[in-house]
Amino acid sequence: MKSALVVWGGWDGHQPKQCVDRFIPVLQEQGYDVRAENGMEVYLDKDYMTSLALVVPCWTMGTITNEQEKGLLDAVQSGVGIAGWHGGMGDSFRNNTGYQWMVGGQWVAHPGNIHEYQVNITNHSDPITKGLQDFKVVSEAYYLHVDPSNEVLATTTFSGIDAPWTKGCVMPVVWKRKWGEGRVFYFSVGHQATDFDVPEVFEIMKRGMLWASR
C-alpha cells in the first residue's frame, strides 16, 4: 500500500485543517495509507520520509528548522512526490529559499484580495487538465515570483485591480516540475476550504496529487 503524509498548520486564516480534511478521504479512496500531522517533526525521520509516495503540505507563514527543511527536500529529491495549494505550499516559509526553489515559486501579493477571476487552461493534453475548460473562482489571485523552469498548465490574467501596473500580466496558477527524482505539483487556488467546492478546482487538485505521487 502506498503511504501519504499530510502536514498542516501555520496561519489559521487559510483553514489548514479544513482544507486537508477535504483530501484525506480522496487519498484513502485511492488506496493510500494516510498519516496526518499537525507539526513538522516528522520531516526529521529519514527512513519514514523516504518510504512515502506523497507529501501534501498545508502550512502558511511558518518557520521550519534547517534540519526539517533538509528532511523534506531530501525526501522529494529521492523520489517522494509533493503536491499542495495556495499559501499552504506557496507561502509556507518566507525565509527559506531552498524550499521555495523546490516549490517553483513564492507568493508576494494578492492584489484585489478576494474577488472573482478566471483561470485559463493552457495545456489541454496534460492528464492533470485534460478535458477541463476555463473556469472562474472567487478567491485570492496570487501574484507569485515563479521559476521559469516550471511546466505551466493554467494561468490567470491580472486586471490591474489595486495594482494598475499589473494589468494584463499573465500569471501561472497551476504548474508541475521535478526536484531531483521527485515530482512537484502546485495550484495557487485554495484560500479556504470552500474554494474546493468549484468542481474544476477540486478535480485539478486531486489529479495533481495523484500525478505527483510515485
**What is the per-residue pLDDT across 58-106, written as a single tens digit (0 to 9) for each?**
999 999 999 999 999 999 999 999 999 999 999 999 999 999 999 999 9
User: Could you tell me if 78 and 63 are in contact, meaning their C-beta atoms sit under 8 angstroms apart?
Assistant: no
129: which strand partners?
Answer: none
Instruction: Name residue, grid cell 503540505.
Output: 57
| Distances 136 to 5, 119, 145 between C-alpha atoms, Å | 30, 6, 22
For residue 139, how many other CB atoms are within 10 A of its CB?
Answer: 23
Among residues 138, 137, 156, which one has the least CA distance to residue 200? 137
CA atoms within 13 A on the CB side of 204: 32
Give the model's confidence band at 189: pLDDT under 50 very low, under 70 low, under 90 confident, else very high: very high
Report yes or no on whether pTM surpasses 0.85: yes
CATH code for the domain defined by 3-212: 3.40.50.880
The whole-number pLDDT of residue 178 equals 98
To the nearest whole percent, how much of the chain has pLDDT over 70? 100
Domain boundaries, the chain: 3-212
